[in-house]
Amino acid sequence: MLVDSHCHLDYFSDAEVGEIVGRAREAGVGRMVTIGTRMDQAPAVKALAERFPDVWGTVGVHPHNAGEGGLPEVKELVALTDHPRVIGIGESGLDYFYDKAPRDLQQESFRRHIRAAQQTGLPLVIHARDADGDMATILAEERAAGGPFGALLHCFSSGRALAEAVVAEGGYVSLSGILTFPKSEGLREIARDLPEDRLLVETDSPYLAPVPLRGKRCEPAYVAHTAAVLARVRGWDVARTAAVTTANFDRLFSKCR
């Protein structure tokens, strides 16, 4: 069994999402996590998780949306997790590539998500792009101030130093279709070298369809292609890759076990 640890099922129409979940099951994907990106989206995430027994959800505010309608309060984030199928906080983080929200608002939103993760004991799903230095600083400062928390660097494409820093603090790294791209040799080297008990796979669908499906709309079934490349990079067979990444998922997202 594979797990798609990060997808956006609410981005698909209500009419087609059942077919998409069905194709994922046929591809050997046993569980999917649909990810929150806005506070007002939380009801849709919860509804999808209630509709499908193999779908779970997270709640949070994407850095692109930081500051829209005001920053989320920690207590509001915590309150949204009071649902049996909400298993994580986020996605939240820093995105200095697109800079769709002011950086100070991204940083403050990120800190509040970290504090919600600390209070709930749920893992934080982290979006990091072109912000490795500030990301590492904020993670270290908040851990020192408020204690440890679970963390997952999703759709990882950052530098080796950030991955190693997160792993050193007990965090995890999730690999998306980017791992399969021809120009991602550096990323494959990092995936080869990280501890095997810290690796997950995802699609980030409907984005970033893996090779050989680039250009198509991505969906959870395609996580099998990323897992196959991870297997090749690590020198594993596909069965071991599925077993390792699923066990890692279960350890991090323990609420859904």
The domain of 124 spans 2-256
What's the pTM value of the predicted model, to 2 decimals?
0.97
CA distances from 23 to 19, 27, 224 (A): 6, 6, 12
CA distances from 74 to 20, 81, 112, 145 (A): 33, 11, 5, 15
Most distant CA pair in the chain, distance = 48
Give the model confidence (pLDDT) of 178-230 as tens digits.
999 999 999 999 999 999 999 999 999 999 999 999 999 999 999 999 999 99
Strands (E), 144-227: 151-153, 172-175, 199-201
Give the model confidence (pLDDT) of 37-68 as tens digits.
999 999 999 999 999 999 999 999 999 999 89
Q: Inform me whether the pLDDT recorded for 69 exceeds 90.
A: no
CA distances from 79 to 39, 74, 75, 117, 157 (A): 11, 9, 6, 12, 31
What's the rounded Cα separation, in Å, for the pair 52 and 243?
22
What's the rounded Cα separation, in Å, for the pair 170 and 193?
16
39: domain CATH number? Answer: 3.20.20.140
Q: Supply the Cα-derived Rg of the chain in whole angstroms.
A: 17
The confidence band for 98, taking pLDDT boundaries of 50, 70 and 90, is: very high
What's the rounded Cα separation, in Å, for the pair 69 and 83?
24
Question: What's the pLDDT score for residue 67?
Answer: 85
Question: What's the pLDDT score for residue 40?
Answer: 95
Domain count, the chain: 1
Assigned token pair, 64: 């692109």
